[in-house]
Structure 1
Amino acid sequence: MPELETEFLSKQQVEALVRELIADFVRQNEQRAKELSIIERVIRVEEEIKALREIETARFEAMEKRFEALQREMNARFEAMEKRFEALQREMNARFEAMEKRLTFIQWFIGIGFTFVSILITIFGLAAK
């Protein structure tokens, strides 16, 4: 029987040793699993940040293109407005020149009329004496 007890004790010791080894193995693997999980998360976060940067860059480029298109459109509109104003200015100048000619004609006509009336008054005044 003493042999059985030694065998039994050694079995208990072996079982305890195996339990300890398994527990150590599990702890180490859990730690490694946690580290791997953290590394995977970091990698996912970095990839997501990279993807967001690419999206952001694409959006900024699209906005830049829109602003350039708006700038071109605004330039075209301003050029059209400038042409309209120039045409209006030319038209106004032509109207003012025509008015100036009419006023000059009326001024000469009034001057000649007053001169003629003055001459007639003088002639009739001299003839009546």
Structure 2
Amino acid sequence: MSLSPQTEDALLEQKIAAVVHQILQREGDQIFGEKIAAFVQENERRARELALMERVVRVEEELRALREIQIAHFNAAEKRFEASEKRFDALHREMTARFEAMDKRFEALQREMTARFEAVDKRFEAMERRFRFQEWMIGGGVTLIMAFLSLLKIFS
């Protein structure tokens, strides 16, 4: 079976083409698989990075929200402290006014008591003067009576 050289060449070309096609297919599949695997790995890495970035953004947003909540709590606490301070100031002013009123009442009572004690002292002084006057009168009267009785004895 002798084939013409052209046919042999064509057959050889077909066999070479089939072998090249198989090799290319195998190598192409291998290279294509490697490239797809590399592409998938790169995309997975990027997806993880993107997920991490999204998590970081969410954490930052949560921190910002927490900070705002804390600021709101601090402001509310500060307002409560200011309200308490105002109440304490009002109570202090009220207590001061009451103590001043009590001081005025005590001063008035002290002046009234002093006036009464002075009046009582004047009455005691007046009574003491009367008792002295009565003592002198009694002493003088007794002396006169004794002198009169002595004179009567002498002249009798």
**Under a length normalisation based on structure 2, what TM-score does the superposition of the two structures give?**
0.73
Residue identity (%): 33
> How many pairs does the alignment contain?
129
- Cα deviation per residue 1:60-119 (whole Å; 9 max; x = unaligned)? 211210111111111111112112101211220121121112111111111110011011
Q: Which runs of 5+ in 2 are unaligned?
A: 1-20, 151-156
Greater CA deviation, 104-113 or 40-49?
40-49
Code of the aligned partner of 2:71:
K
- 2:87 alignment counterpart: 66
**1:94 corresponds to 2:112:** no
Q: Equivalents in 2 of 1:101, 1:13: separation in Å?
A: 128
- 2:103 alignment counterpart: 82
Deviation at 1:52, TM superposition (A): 2.4
Q: Equivalents in 2 of 1:55, 1:69: separation in Å?
A: 21
Greater CA deviation, 108-117 or 38-47?
38-47
- 1:43 alignment counterpart: 64
Runs of 4+ in structure 1 displaced over 4 angstroms? Answer: none
Determine which structure has more spread, i.e. the larger CA radius of gyration. Answer: 2
Q: Which runs of 5+ in 1 are unaligned?
A: none
**1:56 corresponds to 2:74:** no
Q: Equivalents in 2 of 1:12, 1:67: separation in Å?
A: 80
Deviation at 1:12, TM superposition (A): 1.9
- 1:17 alignment counterpart: 38
Greater CA deviation, 24-33 or 109-118?
24-33
Greater CA deviation, 61-70 or 41-50?
41-50
SS of 2:74's equivalent in the other structure is helix
Code of the aligned partner of 1:70:
L
- Cα deviation per residue 1:14-58 (whole Å; 9 max; x = unaligned)? 431332132122121122023213311321232123112211220
- 1:124 alignment counterpart: 145
